[in-house]
A and B are shown apart, each in its own frame.
Chain A
Amino acid sequence: MTIGGAVIAALSGALLGLGGFTFYYGQGLSYFSRDPAACVNCHIMQPQFDSWQKASHHTAATCADCHLPHDFLPKWLSKAENGFWHSQGFTLQDFHEPIFIRQRNQRVLHDNCLNCHGPLVHELLAGATTDADAISCVHCHRSAGHGEAVGLGKYEPLSSRKEP
């Protein structure tokens, strides 16, 4: 082995080690799982995670069930794309707050509603699904995934206010 070869081997070994440790420290492997806990690794989505746990769907669907395509290739492409934007955003801290779902992911979400509820609602869904005015499940059922938007869960007032 030449000296040069040895230097290159040592350098790339060091880089590999550093990169490997960073991957491990950043819980890189968890992103290959379906565990909802992985989605709050970076803390940005803690409120979304917390509210999902209190909403009606938490027994029926996890983050990935609603927010990722179910077929193999689209799923991993979508994971890669969102993963890239999320890492970039969190590293540079330059994203819009509050976080909004992007249009592309909204389509994924809608398709996943239909994945389970399609047979029940197929008659409502005549016509285009890509049109801007197309019917969208979460337009009305906003609390299905993440519960009420305000307060610590919904409370039922003991009285109803009436104007005297």
Chain B
Amino acid sequence: MNRKTLLGYGAVVVVVSGLSALVTGLLMNIYERKSEAKNPYVHLVEVSEDDTDPAKWGVNWPKQYESYQLTALATRTRFGGHGGSEALPEQKIERDPWLKRIFLGYAFSIDYRDRRGHAYMLSDQEETKRLSKPQTGSCLHCHASVMPLYRELGGGDAMAGFKASYQLSYQEMNARLHASGHAHPVSCVDCHSAETMKLRVTRPGFVKAIQALAASEAPLPHLPSIERWRATNRQAPYDPNALASRTEMRSFVCGQCHVEYYCSSAMPLEFPWSKGLRAEDLEAHWNGVVLPKGGRFFDFKHSESGAEILKVQHPEFELWSQGIHARSGVACADCHMPYQRDGATKVSDHWVRSPLLNVNRACQTCHHSEEQEILARVEVIQTRNFNLLQRAGQALVDQLDAIQAARAAGAGDEQLQPTRELQRQAQWRLDFVAAENSMGFHAPQEAARLLGEAVDLARQGQVAALKAKEAGR
């Protein structure tokens, strides 16, 4: 064989081996995708209802666990998120001084910071300066993977343990949590059944409240399983784990904590849902509650005005319920934990965060517009609500000034009663949007309606304070 032919054969070998390598690569790629589709996860360890350590579940479900761990990352949007130092988020009460003023006399005027990811829920709570005031063990209902501890306290009965926990101090309950080895932030077992991985709700506060809500007359077109329960069978209380659809469960698990509630050492933790989910319904519920020590329910007495004020917590579930997304059957998880593809498997993203940081998966599945366009639309909605919120804050501060002046002029309790009442109502509506984590987006018109009413009530209150001042002279 001459040199040239030999070179020719050599070239053929090189080309064919290159092609074979490519085809083999493709074959392996197809094989990988096929096996991913066949086995979305591999069951390596047994998990039980008492396994609160997410790392253990992470052995079986590494994709979900990896994204869950990302909640430790600092993210920020224009109106939300961690904008402070690496150690602690920024103080909201320093950014908006009116916020500090309206909470005078309450622990939120001491320390009130921006939110952070799920990973910090327990450590942030252990560090807040609000703990310098006495706080109840009920607070751990939503800041730790607390169900095994409830069962321990209740001798096996979680509901009994829950009912007992409000009498313990936060420090005592927290020490027990650490001693029991369940000191983890929200964990897999809080939303997933250890046996079937199905979504389920565990929190006693939610279960009691959703049953009360179901038993009420409030229309709930966005929760069809409750309407079906009402229409067919009111014998047994509504059971979300048995009756709710998967879509509803994808909101209920979040509604276990992202709600308005009352948490104190005076009575067990309570969500105010017995009359419906609108701000007025919640307000009416609280107005009907009598405190154990007697008298109408309130969270704190405002130290300047003496008014009995209601503090709103973070009513995301309630405000979402008033919006167009809820009405259209869009669940919390659809936007905050959208499905993402990983190879041939579909994984729901456990890096729970603002949809604005994940527009393509969170919004574009339904809204076929450019990312920039979608972001711009949200910006318009949030800016409108933000501007209204600032006006409402100003109106409330003006009312407080007027009350101060009336008191200085000698107005007494009886004369100040009307303006205090209006302060309570105005602040409830303002706080409903201010404490809620979406700057109105979860239900834009509803939020704007509440802020409009807050401005009106605060100004009415200002007029009432002027009248009290005249009368006090």
Distance in angstroms between the alpha carbons of A4 and B222 in the assembled complex: 75
Closest to B343 in A: A93
Distance in angstroms between the alpha carbons of A73 and B30 in the assembled complex: 29
Q: Point out the residues of chain B lying under 8 angstroms from A158, CB to CB.
A: 221, 224, 227-228, 230-231
Distance in angstroms between the alpha carbons of A99 and B25 in the assembled complex: 25
| A15 and B20 form a contact (CB under 8 A) | yes
Task: Say if the beta carbon of B123 comes within 8 Å of chain A.
Answer: no
| A150 and B27 form a contact (CB under 8 A) | no
> How far is the CB of B285 from the nearest CB of chain A, in Å?
16
| A152 and B343 form a contact (CB under 8 A) | no
Q: Point out the residues of chain A lying under 8 angstroms from B221, CB to CB.
A: 157-161
Binary contact track A40-62/B, C-beta < 8 Å → 1, others 0 = 00111010000000000000000
Closest to A40 in B: B37
| B33 and A43 form a contact (CB under 8 A) | yes
Q: Point out the residues of chain B lying under 8 angstroms from A152, CB to CB.
A: 245-247
- Name the contact of A42 in the complex, choosing from B23, B327, B344, B366 (C-beta under 8 A): B344
Task: Say if the beta carbon of B78 comes within 8 Å of chain A.
Answer: no
Distance in angstroms between the alpha carbons of A162 and B23 in the assembled complex: 63
Distance in angstroms between the alpha carbons of A155 and B227 in the assembled complex: 12
Distance in angstroms between the alpha carbons of A3 and B224 in the assembled complex: 77
Tell me what chain B mostly uses at the interface: helix, strand, loop, or mixed. helix
Distance in angstroms between the alpha carbons of A84 and B362 in the assembled complex: 28
| A19 and B23 form a contact (CB under 8 A) | yes
| A155 and B224 form a contact (CB under 8 A) | yes
- Name the contact of A18 in the complex, choosing from B20, B329, B345 (C-beta under 8 A): B20
Among listed A5-13, A107-115, A116-124, A125-133, interface-contacting one: A5-13
Q: Point out the residues of chain B lying under 8 angstroms from A3, CB to CB.
A: 1
- Name the contact of B9 in the complex, choosing from A8, A46, A155 (C-beta under 8 A): A8
| A159 and B227 form a contact (CB under 8 A) | yes
Task: Say if the beta carbon of A100 comes within 8 Å of chain B.
Answer: yes
B contacts with A, residue count (CB < 8 A): 48
Q: Point out the residues of chain A lying under 8 angstroms from B227, CB to CB.
A: 157-159
Task: Say if the beta carbon of B12 comes within 8 Å of chain A.
Answer: yes
Task: Say if the beta carbon of B76 comes within 8 Å of chain A.
Answer: no
| A162 and B33 form a contact (CB under 8 A) | no
> How far is the CB of B361 from the nearest CB of chain A, in Å?
7
> How far is the CB of A123 from the nearest CB of chain B, in Å?
27
Given A8-B12, A97-B340, A160-B219, residue A25 in contact with residue B31 (CB < 8 A): yes
Q: Point out the residues of chain A lying under 8 angstroms from B245, CB to CB.
A: 152
- Name the contact of A96 in the complex, choosing from B247, B343, B360 (C-beta under 8 A): B360
Q: Which of B1-26 contact A (CB under 8 A)?
A: 1, 5, 8-9, 12-13, 16-17, 19-20, 23-24, 26
Residues of A within 8 A of B (CB): 2-4, 7-8, 11-12, 14-15, 18-19, 21-22, 25-26, 42-44, 46, 90-91, 93, 96-98, 100, 148-152, 154-155, 157-162
Residues of B within 8 A of A (CB): 1, 5, 8-9, 12-13, 16-17, 19-20, 23-24, 26-27, 29-31, 33, 37, 219-222, 224, 227-228, 230-231, 245-247, 327-330, 334, 340-341, 343-346, 360-361, 364-366, 368
A-B pairs with beta carbons under 8 Å apart, 12 shown: A8-B9, A8-B12, A14-B16, A15-B16, A15-B19, A22-B26, A22-B27, A42-B344, A46-B346, A96-B360, A151-B329, A157-B222
